[in-house]
Amino acid sequence: MFQNQEFISALANEEFYLHVLCEEDANDVYEAIIDSLAHLQKYPATIPWVLNKQSLENTKLYCQTVQDNLSKNKDVVFVIRHKKTERLIGLVGLHNICWEIPRLEIGFWGNIVFNKQGLMKQAIQRLLEALQVHYNFKRIEALVDQENQDARKLYERLGFQLERIMRNALRNPVDRSLRHLCIYTILTE
């Protein structure tokens, strides 16, 4: 579904392009995880996989799982790459897709090397626009740890509205503290 050429063509500009994650991306994803791990580990309640042992083999398995899920049209993960250097800027995932409404959840993580350059915002904005034009999603949700101010600000700059804060919705697997979960949404008619 998400691999039609017109949709994929809409996911690029002069600086970056997005494509569906595949096994060939594993090395670059692994390197970006290692570079960004200290930052990502600040939010283990919403990004629990950062606590797992990171290895190239595990990253390859993740890429294979993403490819397997793609055929079910329930989840898809896109790689964001810098056009000139081919470096991995980050990943953005569409999860829990419900085609009946249609609605989905969106999540991302960025390579710390590209932090604060605006490329993640531009890439996610491009993806959101393409989702509206090609698939007419009525509800797009982003679930964010309340303490993750960078992600919250990014979603707000993208036009997401804070719909609610679920208090004590998550447990931090490191210190067992309870975390609040912010639910951001974009709604269309």
Domain segments of the chain as ranges: 5-137
3-state secondary structure of 143: strand
Average pLDDT value for the chain = 93
Query: 78 has which bridge partners?
Result: 20, 92
Global pTM reads: 0.92
Find out whether 70 and 76 touch, Cβ atoms under 8 Å: yes
Tens digit of pLDDT for each residue in 72-105? 887 899 999 999 999 999 999 999 999 999 999 9
Lowest mean pLDDT among 52-56, 66-70, 103-107: 66-70
What span, in angstroms and rounded, lies between the C-alpha atoms of 31 and 110?
12
Q: Where are the alpha helices (DSSP H) in 51-181?
A: 56-70, 119-135, 149-157
The pair of structure tokens assigned to 44 is 């283990």
Name the CATH topology of 5-137.
Answer: Aminopeptidase (3.40.630)
